[in-house]
Amino acid sequence: MAVKTMMLTAEEVEKAAALLRNGEVVAFPTETVYGLGANALDREAVEKIFQAKGRPQDNPLIVHCFTRAQLTDLVTEIPPEAKILMDKFWPGPLTLVLPKSAAIPQVVSAGLDTVGIRIPDHPLALELIQKTGFPLAAPSANLSGRPSPTRAEHVWADLQGKIPAILDGGETGWGLESTVLDCTVKPFRLLRPGGVTLEELQALTSIQVDTTIYGASLDATPASPGMKYQHYAPQAEVFLVLGQNTPAKIGELSEDYLEVGKRVGVMTWDERCQLYPRLTCLPMGPSGDLSILATKLYHLLRESDRLGLDVLFIEGVSEEHLGLAIMNRLRKAANEQVIHT
Ligand code: TXA
Ligand code: MG
């Protein structure tokens, strides 16, 4: 049954907290992307998240805290190196997977004996969690398979009529989801690259990298269940194009589509749009600026839908620093259709 979705302003955070205390779900901004939150300790409330998103039950949720003191009840152990990472990166875009306590319902952890936890670096998120008095389980507030929302209107487009409220905090900061790090193995294992980079983590402790982040067959069983689902997909057929000679290759490949009247787009750095006069350009920002690209990425994928593109070619970027997270999302958007030139 459709519900009326309220768009709440920052001044109305108490209304959002009241809904959450009532066992409801509410979308809220974080510094990465918007989350769809519910009381992490209330099984029935958390089930509503899965319903609203159409999320597979075997994909665990991240638990968002306001202070480190809340962790005492949620996890059974914190390795010393994990504490060092908390000191350095919390609040911030780093999710640590730790052994869970019995307080966390199975639905949150999707039956795993671990739980992913982070303290978000966003004043409204922190105020909301503090006001509710409990930790919030929250995945990204998109329909499953759609690009994560970086603006309240993206949440509206996906979940309007399905959730009671969206707390509008404007555009999110980083634009990509948090880094997910498994701290139950030694060395710690990077499960999802994100706002805190691999290089930043490696400066403090040794890290192994789960190879599924570079793309893997959907049959494999990745350590992070969420990584096996197609994510971030626009409606267009997407090709990720790598290498030196992308304009020639994209020009050649687009011919066939243009001939039969398809709408063809290209996602590339601002300066390079002129290399593709016959295609609709989705500009990624000034050449090489990975942090600007990160903030725009999901919006551009949604723009592709708004423009009704049938085919989208994306020029790949360097995999250093934030580029690792960006390329991880682009590979998923392209559903592993990668062309090397
Ligand atoms: O930035 C973010 O992380 C955003 C904001 C809202 O905090 N949240 C987010 O949640 O991206 P979601 O559900 O879209 O992605 C969570 C990822 C999934 O890939 C999931 O499989 C993984 O984290 N994950 C969660 N708990 C885990 C666990 N116990 N073990 C392994 N992976 C886990
Ligand atoms: Mg997500």
> What pLDDT is attached to residue 215?
80
Residue 226 lies in a domain: no
CB-count exposure of residue 306 (10 Å: 0-12, 13-18, 19+): exposed
Neighbour tally for 41: CB within 10 Å: 18
**Mean of the per-residue pLDDT values of the chain:** 95
Instruction: Tell which wins on pLDDT, 35 or 335.
Output: 35
Residue 224 lies in a domain: no
SS (H, E, C) 129-183: HHHHCCCEEECECCCCCCCCCCCHHHHHHHHCCCCCEEECCCCCCCCCCCEEEEC
Question: 145 and 14 in one domain?
Answer: yes
Residue 225 lies in a domain: no
pLDDT in tens, 83-111: 999 999 999 999 999 999 999 999 999 99
> What pLDDT is attached to residue 176?
97
Give the CATH number of the domain where residue 63 resides.
3.90.870.10
> What pLDDT is attached to residue 187?
98
Q: Pick the ligand that lies closest to the CA of residue 191.
A: 1
Question: 246 and 133 in one domain?
Answer: no
Q: Pick the ligand that lies closest to the CA of residue 224.
A: 1
pLDDT in tens, 190-232: 999 999 999 999 999 999 999 999 985 444 455 666 655 666 7
CA–centroid distance, residue 151 to ligand 2 (Å): 14
Residues with beta carbon inside 6 Å of ligand 1? 30, 32-33, 35, 59-62, 93, 95, 97, 109, 112, 114-116, 120, 138-140, 177-178, 180, 191-192, 224-227
pLDDT in tens, 309-324: 999 999 999 999 999 9
Residue 30 lies in a domain: yes
Q: The dihedral of CA 140, 296, 269, 282: what is its sign?
A: positive
Task: Give the residue numbers spanning the domain of 243.
Answer: 237-340
Choose which residue among 25, 46, 62 to substitute to test ligand 1 binding: the one with the highest number of ligand atoms within 8 A of its C-beta.
Answer: 62
> What pLDDT is attached to residue 230?
62
> What pLDDT is attached to residue 10?
97
CA–centroid distance, residue 176 to ligand 2 (Å): 10
CA–centroid distance, residue 220 to ligand 2 (Å): 19
Instruction: Tell which wins on pLDDT, 140 or 219.
Output: 140
Reading the block at residue 162, the tokens are 């399905």
Choose which residue among 180, 298, 322 to substitute to test ligand 1 binding: the one with the highest number of ligand atoms within 8 A of its C-beta.
Answer: 180
Instruction: Tell which wins on pLDDT, 235 or 228.
Output: 235
Of residues 107, 99, 110, the one with CA closest to residue 74: 99
Give the CATH number of the domain where residue 316 resides.
3.40.50.11030
Lowest mean pLDDT among 116-130, 229-243, 282-296: 229-243
> What pLDDT is attached to residue 221?
52
> What pLDDT is attached to residue 233?
83
> What pLDDT is attached to residue 53?
96
> What pLDDT is attached to residue 164?
98
**pLDDT band per the 50, 70, 90 thresholds, residue 13:** very high
- Cα dihedral 233, 237, 242, 245 in deg (nearest 10): -150
Q: Of all atoms in ligand 1, which is nearest to the CA of residue 231? A: 14
Question: 254 and 175 in one domain?
Answer: no
Q: Do the Cβ atoms of 18 and 71 come closer than 8 Å?
A: no
Neighbour tally for 94: CB within 10 Å: 23
Question: 318 and 251 in one domain?
Answer: yes
**pLDDT band per the 50, 70, 90 thresholds, residue 336:** confident
Q: Is the pLDDT of residue 15 over 50?
A: yes
Cα separation, 179 vs 295, in Å, equals 15
Q: Of all atoms in ligand 1, which is nearest to the CA of residue 195? A: 1
Choose which residue among 148, 177, 210, 229 to substitute to test ligand 1 binding: the one with the highest number of ligand atoms within 8 A of its C-beta.
Answer: 177
CA distances from 109 to 93, 99, 139 (A): 19, 10, 12
> What pLDDT is attached to residue 217?
46
Q: Do the Cβ atoms of 198 and 296 come closer than 8 Å?
A: no
Q: Pick the ligand that lies closest to the CA of residue 212.
A: 1
Residue 222 lies in a domain: no
CA–centroid distance, residue 321 to ligand 2 (Å): 21
pLDDT in tens, 170-197: 999 999 999 999 999 999 999 999 999 9
